[in-house]
Amino acid sequence: MELVERYGFVPNGARVYYENRSQPPLLSQMIRAVYTKTRDLTLLKRSLPILLKEYAFWTSAPHEVRVRDHKGEEHRLSRFWGHWNSPRPESFTIDINVTQGMNKTRAAHLYHDIATAAESGWDFSSRWMEDQQNMETLRTSMIIPVDLNVFLFQMEKNIEYFGKILVNQIVETRFANAAKDRYRAIQRILWSRKNGQWFDAWLSYDECSLSETNKRTVVVYEWVQKRLTYASNFVPLWAGVLPKGDVRKERVVEALRTSGLIQSASVATSLRNTGQQWDFPNAWAPLVDMVIEGLDASGLTRGRSMAREISRDWLRSNFVAYQQVGKMIEKYDATSCGKIGGVGEYNPQTGFGWSNGVVLSLLQKYGWPADEPMFCPEPLS
């Protein structure tokens, strides 16, 4: 909260060279989780103006864009946008190597999309690439991401809730309307009725050629869904985008079940093995947790059963890997129980905050049967 007071957003890390990009907007959900346990009104009173400041960051240009749906109606959605067009200081040599041989303009565009991918948390993934095997084709800043917009929908609902508790009718009404507008935009632009899931939208107008100093330029984008399968397609189930009793939940649960993402040891980030760390076969604790919680919150028998099975597989794999190396790890292999994830621009990190947190959360939620050993099943012959 103090960082948002100072910078207007939660920086990608608490270091000077991260001042050019944010973390994904999950602060309001953190505050709501604490308030739910503590009922601390002082926290809400302090946090409300801070959240309004962070919300303004994500809903103003260049993060917010206007898009027109197939019926000609205009909507506002948000994208990631790193304020940077040079090599990242923390990965300077790596970024220089990626742009080797490019002219200055093309290199600056790519540096910008690299920093933007880092703002998303998905650094790096085929999700952001036109050619899914080629880092040089990153187009992160020209994509409207499913997860970012459902995080913002969740933020709008949280601020509406805080406004109601604090008897601030202006805030409550404003954010109730904002959530309705974003829900409509998400369903019109990102939802695929045919596929039973949400897909990122790719913007067709190259704004990278526009000067950011021209603040009066208003662009209404055309867009296209690239119907590619990523775990992020199912984050809206976790964020509560579909209301209670919505029959579309059955379609989403079935789409996830048949997507190919659910592997023997967990949920893969994507179906593409590209050598990037946010791709197959890697599984990441926050995404796994969102999938599990989303399935559980669906209220469907099949969804809750899937949630319990994925939780069991994830806990088992984490424990077996811990027995092997004596540490918790940043990411795991979704295809093999107890196997540590790999690839990417750095070695797998040990620790690890979100791995620890998700394991504790799942153990609290589901526990572990006392009569069931926590070891990997023998492969079928």
Q: How many C-beta atoms lie closer than 10 Å to residue 272's C-beta? A: 19
Instruction: Match 């080797």 to its residue by tokens.
Output: 100
Compute the distance between CA of residue 193 and CA of residue 99 in angstroms, rounded to an integer.
39
Look up 330 and say whether it is catalytic. Answer: yes
User: What tokens appear for 300 in the block?
Assistant: 């469907």
Q: How far is CA 136 from CA 157, 212, 216, 256, in A?
A: 37, 23, 31, 30
At 231, give phi and psi (nearest 5°).
-60, -30
Tokens 């040891």, located at residue: 265
Active-site annotation holder among 123, 156, 293, 313 = 123
* Cβ atoms within 10 Å, residue 240: 14
Specify the pairing of strand 64-68 against strand 220-221. Answer: parallel
In eight-state DSSP terms, residue 59 is: T
3-state secondary structure of 241: coil
Whether 206 is catalytic: no
Question: 362, 356 in Cβ contact below 8 A?
Answer: no
Sign of the four-CA dihedral 134, 138, 143, 146: positive
Which residues are catalytically annotated? 123, 330
